[in-house]
Amino acid sequence: MSQSEFDIIKKYFETPDLNQENEHIELGIGDDAALISVPDGQNLAISTDVLVEGVHFPVNADAGLVAKKALAVNLSDLAAMAAKPFCFTLGLILPDASEKWLGKFSLALGKMAKEYGIALVGGDVSQGPLTIAIQVHGTNRFGESLRRDKAKVGDTIYVTGTLGAAAAGLLCVGGPSHIGDSFKLIDDHPPKNYRDFLVKAYYEPKPRINFALRCKEYINSAIDISDGLQGDLSHILRASKVGARVEIGRMPVSKEASSCLTTENLYRAALYGGDDYELCVTVSPENCAKFEQEALRSGTRITRIGEIIKGSEVQLVSVSETNFLVDHPYLHFNKNSFE
């Protein structure tokens, strides 16, 4: 690389948006390690995601979009734990030190970091295949973290936003779907406004931080929908030792996804597509009304899709006889790559 690691860090990542002031960050970028004090009476929630070019996003993808996706998928994990964003580290492997790429990447990363109030406190830069590794840190008070293992029989199951658009967006950017060869757009060239919506859903998921912080007192269990609703809900069921009944027809889908996919593929996308980064939560019946009111105040769309029952599996209920099961659930290593 023509620029040294230290040149890159100083020029692109020691910016005001990425180095926000925080009374609990004594020392951020610039030394061998960051110095952080966790606020009294609070947990430190930590999560890491790695995005690799050609696997998690297309080769030559827009640097700004890659930055947004890389930070958003990590922030979604904090939302699932009802943790307030605190700080993050960045590991960046670059094939070359392109000033244009680095400029767009750091600008978009800084804007998103400022929006969610999370400061960059360190990381590393090296040369190799383009890879972005982000570790986020969030805080929440002892006993107030949302978890996967607290779902109870009788709970109502909700999801935020809409599902399936990101899976369709993956097709729009040229990615092969793990769902199977039959998962295709109705038209290879959908209207531009629909295509733009689906691509945005894929690259720019909206972390539900505000929703989770406002509604956490009414939620029993939560998980972010990164690997598809069916698979991620199954994680709640295993951790909580319960089952679930989900009404397929209740799953929220966008008009854009509905217009670009057959009915069968639409619901396959919602159930198995992944990359939605919405939240799936369970709420006790006595708290549903208050929960729905608080979700409305947070400006977040929520939808009841089923309930927690005795058992250990997800039961999919539909008036249709269509079989929505697929052979390959969401996998990080398999067909989900841009070859």
Give the per-residue pLDDT at 167: 96
What token pair was written down for 94?
């670059």
Other Cβ atoms closer than 10 A to 53: 18
Report in angstroms the alpha-carbon separations of 248 from 268, 288, 314, 315: 10, 20, 11, 10
Give the per-residue pLDDT at 8: 82
Domain 156-317: top CATH class:
alpha beta
Which residues neighbour 150 within 8 Å (Cβ) at sequence distance 6 or greater?
Answer: 220, 221, 240, 282
Report domain extents, the chain.
5-141, 156-317
Return the CATH fold of 5-141. Answer: 60s Ribosomal Protein L30; Chain: A; (3.30.1330)
> Can you tell me the distance from the alpha carbon of 245 to that of 315, in angstroms, rounded to the nearest whole number?
5
Over residues 15-24, the pLDDT tens digits come to 888 888 888 8
Over residues 235-273, the pLDDT tens digits come to 999 999 999 999 999 999 999 999 999 999 999 999 999
List, as own/partner pairs, every contact residues 293-297 make where C-beta atoms lie below 8 angstroms and the sequence separation is at least 24, other chains included. 294/214, 294/215, 294/218, 295/160, 295/211, 295/214, 295/215, 297/214
Report in angstroms the alpha-carbon separations of 126 from 32, 60, 251: 16, 19, 43
DSSP label at 32? S
Give the per-residue pLDDT at 337: 53
Mean pLDDT in runs of 10 for the chain (339 residues)? 70 82 84 88 95 91 96 97 96 92 96 96 93 97 95 98 96 87 92 96 96 98 95 97 95 96 94 95 98 96 97 84 44 45
Give the per-residue pLDDT at 220: 98
Let me know if the fold of 5-141 is the same as that of 156-317: no
Give the per-residue pLDDT at 78: 98
pTM of the model: 0.90
Give the per-residue pLDDT at 98: 87
Place of tokens 């939620």: 219
Q: Which sign, positive or negative, has the C-alpha torsion 203, 130, 177, 307?
A: negative
Give the per-residue pLDDT at 2: 58
